[in-house]
Every structure is written in structure tokens, then in C-alpha cells.
Amino acid sequence: MMNLINKNVEIKKNNFRRKIVSVFVMLCVTSQFLQAQEEDFTSWLNAGFEYKVKPAFVISTDLEWRTKNDLNRTDRWGIGVGGEYLFLPFLKFGAGYELHYRNRGESGWEFRHRYRVDGTLSTHLQHLKLSLRERLQHTFDGENDEFRLRSRFKLAYDIPKCKLEPYVSVEIYNGLNFGEHFNVQRMRYRTGLSFEVTDNWDTEVFYCRQWQRDRQKNIVGIECSYSF
């Protein structure tokens, strides 16, 4: 009789353990799902200057401000310098450096550095403009090193007798760090409108959808550039 009672008690304990484990697994899965669905609405503002040293060689500098947490907090300030050289009518090379001052929440504000080199192929099909840019970048902040290959395909339409130029682009970030196996780390889907304000001022407004494994971003932005 006692053996039967002990057996029933043991069965109930096992069932209780299974229920606890099931609830724990369900909570973990739900947590991962919610994390995967985390989204943010942000803005990017950029103002830059370009100086044409020679017809084929341009140097530039720019200042950037980004927000996060649904526009409620500053994400980072950034300043960059760079240059581009038109090697052939359809091929140009570029290089640059960026300094980021980032808001890391409880950790405070921290600096981050980034170097980049890139090459861009471009062509025209009547009023269509097609380009493919391959960019290698190295980002580091003293603790983390990040190497990325960014591949961007862009399609723009030059509207006849109009200063407006709509475009769409897709950009893939492939990881080059040890153990990342060239996996996709980030995707950007962007659409926007470029237009000339004056002969020297160019402006661009855009929307960008950014995907990462742990979060997604909806980004609206404005970029202004003065050439001389």
C-alpha cells in the first residue's frame, strides 16, 4: 500500500516538474520572439561639404546626428572626412574615416572609430541609373573590433526636365569577424528622393527599413550637401 502511495506521489512530482519545465521553455521562447520583434523609430540628419580638387577628385566632410527610442533620445553624433577618385567613367574609388560619439545609456557616452574603403560601378540605361558599391569597413571602440563588407545596389530614375530623382536601394552587411562565416548581419532597404535646391546645394529625403537579428529600425532622414 505504501509503495503504491509513494509511486503516485512520485508520478505527481514528475508531472509537476514537466509543467514547470514546459512553462519555463514557453517563457524563453516567448521572450526570444518578443526580442526578435523589437522595433524602433529613429531619425538621421546629415550635413556635408564637398570640394572638387580636380574634375576627377573630390574631398568631403560631414556632420551627422542620429536619434533612437522613438526619437526621444540622441543615439550618436558623428563627424567624417573622405575622398573619392573617378578612375574611369563607370568606376570610382573612395576612402574615409568617421568618429562617432555614442550614447550607451547607463554606460554613458563613448567614442568609436571607423575606417572604410570602397569601389563603385555605375551605368545608365536611358533615364535609369544603376550602381553597385562594395565597401570594406573596420569599426572599433577599444573593446570591440568589427569588420564588415557592405554591398549596396542602387536604382535611380532621372526624370526628364526635372530636378527630382527618386531611388531605391538594398544593402547587405556581411560579417568578416572570426566565426561569422560571412553571414548576413544587417540589411537596409531604402527609398528616397534627391533634388537640387540651388546649383551648389543638394538635398535628399529618405526612408530606410533596417533589419538585424535582434531588432529592426524604421528610419527617416534628411541629407544636405554643399559643393564648391
CB burial of residue 77 (10 Å; 0-12, 13-18, 19+): middle
pLDDT reading at 13 higher than 60: no
- DSSP structural state of residue 196: E
pLDDT tens digit string along 56-69?
999 999 999 999 99
Over residues 100-107, the mean pLDDT reads 96
pLDDT tens digit string along 17-39?
454 444 344 444 444 444 455 89
Alpha carbons 96 and 14: distance in angstroms, whole number = 62
* pLDDT value at residue 225: 98
Residues 228 and 200 sit within 8 Å (Cβ to Cβ): yes
Identify which of 110, 84, 82, 83 has the alpha carbon closest to the alpha carbon of residue 97: 82
Over residues 120-142, the mean pLDDT reads 97
Which residues have a Cβ under 8 Å from the Cβ of 84 and sit 6 or more positions away? 57, 58, 60, 92, 93, 94
Q: Tell me the residue type at 1.
A: M
For residue 142, name the pLDDT band (cuts at 50, 70, 90). confident
Over residues 186-208, the mean pLDDT reads 97
Alpha carbons 219 and 16: distance in angstroms, whole number = 47
* pLDDT value at residue 21: 43
- In the chain, what's the furthest Cα-to-Cα distance? 99
pLDDT reading at 70 higher than 60: yes
* pLDDT value at residue 37: 58
Alpha carbons 15 and 17: distance in angstroms, whole number = 5
pLDDT reading at 76 higher than 90: yes
Whole-number percent of the chain with pLDDT over 90:
81
Which of these ranges, 21-35, 54-68, 89-103, 199-213, has the smallest mean pLDDT? 21-35
The residue whose grid cell reads 546649383 is: 199
pTM of the entire structure?
0.82
For residue 8, name the pLDDT band (cuts at 50, 70, 90). low
* pLDDT value at residue 10: 54
Beta strand 184-196 pairing with 201-211: antiparallel
* pLDDT value at residue 160: 93
Beta strand 39-54 pairing with 216-227: parallel
Give the CATH class of 39-227.
Answer: mainly beta
- The cell numbers describing 67, all together, are 536619434
Higher pLDDT, 77 or 25: 77
* pLDDT value at residue 222: 98
Alpha carbons 15 and 201: distance in angstroms, whole number = 71
Task: Give SS3 for 36.
Answer: helix
- The cell numbers describing 102, all together, are 555614442
pLDDT tens digit string along 212-226?
999 999 999 999 999
